[in-house]
Each structure stands twice: as structure tokens, then as C-alpha cells.
Chains A and B, each alone.
Chain A
Amino acid sequence: MSKQADIIISEHEANEGSFRNYVSGFVLSIFLTLGAYLMVVHHSFSADKIVAAIVGLALCQFLVQMLFFLHLGKETKPRWKLFVLLFMIVIVLILVFGSIWIMNNLNYRMTPEQINTYLNNQGGGF
């Protein structure tokens, strides 16, 4: 009975963060946001490299906000919230990148010219 109570109480604590957590998360997020923004606005290197950089920065900010705002690291075992989060991430990656791969591949049997003609001749709108 008391073991159950301990589990309940520590689950409750798992949701708590400290003032330091929130401030760190906030400051880090500002830097990550401004960093990405400035990179794009100044366009100092090639577009592809910038894309890789801003995606990386976005993933970092995702992690920062998960840890500092949503207190993901503080969950006690069994880590069910983490499990569903990871499962969701796997599904999302499959869905998004799978869809992009599939939909691009549907032009497999068309030449670039044919694709262009198709895209430019879209009348109607039904």
C-alpha cells in the first residue's frame, strides 16, 4: 500500500520543474530561435547547408523544451511517457518521410519534361 503511495507521490514530483529549469529553457530557446532566423536572413552560406543547420537547431530546441518545459527527464520508472513519445516519433518519421519518398517516387516513370508539362497544364480545378 505504501509502495503505491510512493509511486504516486514521485510521479507527482516528476511533473515539477524549478525556476532555474524554466529560465534555462527559455534563454536557450531564444538563442536557438534567433540563431536560425539570423542564418536565414543573412544567407551567408548555401541554402542546403542552412537548411541542415536550421533543422538541427529546431531539433535542439525541441529537446530543450522537452527537457526544461515538459520535464521529460524527470519521469521515474516505468517510463511510460517516454515510451509513448518515442513510439510517436517513430510513427511520425515513418509517416512524414515515407510519404515524401512515396509521393516523389510516383514520378518515377515520367521524364522531367513530362512532369513540367503536367504541372503547368493543370486547368479545371475539380
Chain B
Amino acid sequence: MSEAANPAISLEKSNADQTKNAKTLFGFWVYIMTDCVLFASLFATYAVLHRNTFGGPSGETLFSLPNVLAETLMLLTSSFTCGLGILAARAKHKNKVLFWFLVTFVLGAGFLFLELTEFRHLVITGNSWRRSGFLSAFFTLVGTHGLHISIGLLWLAVLLAKITSKGLSKNNLRQLTLFSIFWHFLDIIWIFIFTIVYLMGALGK
């Protein structure tokens, strides 16, 4: 009896798929938790080193709050559009999926562009990561977040290409869900960077 014809085997296969989904989603969540500890180590380092400006300017002077607000709102909106994309994926609307995730990509790329502009400005004005412990910690913490965003954008690009060619297959749906968890988590990390690095930095704390 062929596998396709036997309904008992198809049911087993679909159960196996759902178990695979459950395992993969849980495993990815657990990985995200470990990534949080990674960021926590960077936050701890920043907390310890942020006053070590070695006579140079501190965050109070260096940070441009309007720029940071723009970044924050862009990333937050991209997290929202990512959610809308997931809803479209559940409803199996391939075109809506592509649209919302494209918007997510553009907003994410915009965030990255603003961040790189900020970094470039700091480097040009002599405030690179080589200047002090504070700046080393700043560039590494914020830069690691930016690196995660870049990897996310690469992942999204590959995913969108696969969805365009192969449609909303089981694998692609699973990967979209994983991506969305990753993307939401990056926005949550940004909440803390925004508050602890930029806002508290601007207050001189």
C-alpha cells in the first residue's frame, strides 16, 4: 500500500510535521533566550564602562535623540508590520505576505541606514571605538544589535525569494514564524538600548 494512499500514514506524517513544528519553535525560542544572555553580558559591560570616557565626550554630548527616536519608531513599526505579515501567512494570502514583509524589510533597512549614519558620524568626528572604554562598549552593544538586524534582513530576503518561487510551503511558513520571533525579540532588545544607552546617556546617567 503506497504511503500517499494510506490515510493512516498521511495522518502520521501530518502529526510528525506538527511535532517537528513544535520542537523547532520551542528550540528557536530557547535559542532566543540564550541570545538575551548574550545581550545581557554586553549590557553589563556597558554599565560598567560607560563612564570611562578617558577625558572624551560622554553620551550626553554625542547622542542625537531625534535620530534615535526615528530609529526606534521605524523598528517598532517594522515589528508591527511583521505581525501583520504573519496574520496574512496564517490566512495563506501569499501576496499580502510578500507586501507586509517587504515593508518590514524596508523599515528594517531604514533603521540600519540611520544607525550606520550615526556610527559614521561618530567615527569621522574622532569618536570611534578606539577612543575609550565607553565608546568601545557603545559600539559593540549597539553594533551587535545592528549585526543581528543585518542577519535578520539577509534571512528575510532569502525567505521572500523562496516564497516568491515556491509559495507558502510548510517549511516556508515555519521559517516565517521563526523569523517573526527573531524580529520581535530584536525590537524588545532595542527598547532596552533606547532606554539605557540613549535616554539615560542623554540625562548624564
Contact = CB atoms under 8 A, between A and B. Distances in A.
Contacts of A15: 25, 177
Interface of A: 4-5, 8-9, 11-12, 15-19, 21-23, 25-26, 29-30, 33, 36-37, 40-41, 43, 47, 50-51, 54-55, 57-58, 61-62, 65-66, 69-70, 80-81, 84-85, 87-88, 91-92, 95-96, 99-100, 103, 119-120, 122
Contacts of B84: 19, 22
A99 B48 contact: yes
A11 B23 CA distance: 10
> Of residues B43, B55, B69, B80, which shows the largest number of chain A Cβ atoms within 10 Å of its Cβ?
B80
B184 interface: yes
A8 B15 contact: yes
- By Cβ-Cβ distance, the 10 closest A-B pairs, closest first, are A22-B83, A58-B195, A26-B80, A92-B40, A8-B18, A99-B44, A88-B33, A69-B184, A103-B48, A96-B44
B72 interface: yes
B204 interface: yes
Contacts of A61: 191
B124 interface: no
Contact of B194 (A12, A33, A50, A85): A33
A26 to B, nearest CB: 4
B72 A5 contact: no
Contact of B203 (A11, A50, A70, A96): A50
Interface string B40-75: 110111011000101100000000010001001100
B205 interface: yes
B195 A36 contact: yes
A54 B191 CA distance: 10
A19 B86 CA distance: 10
A65 B79 contact: yes
B33 A40 contact: no
B47 A99 contact: yes
A123 B191 CA distance: 36
17 contacts: A4-B15, A8-B22, A11-B25, A12-B22, A23-B80, A26-B79, A33-B194, A36-B195, A40-B199, A40-B203, A43-B203, A54-B195, A57-B195, A58-B196, A92-B36, A95-B37, A96-B40
B195 A55 contact: yes
**Majority DSSP secondary structure for residues of A touching B:** helix
B37 A92 contact: yes
B44 A95 contact: yes
B53 to A, nearest CB: 10
Interface in B121-151: none
Contacts of B72: 33, 37
Contacts of B196: 58
A49 to B, nearest CB: 10
Contacts of B86: 17
B114 interface: no
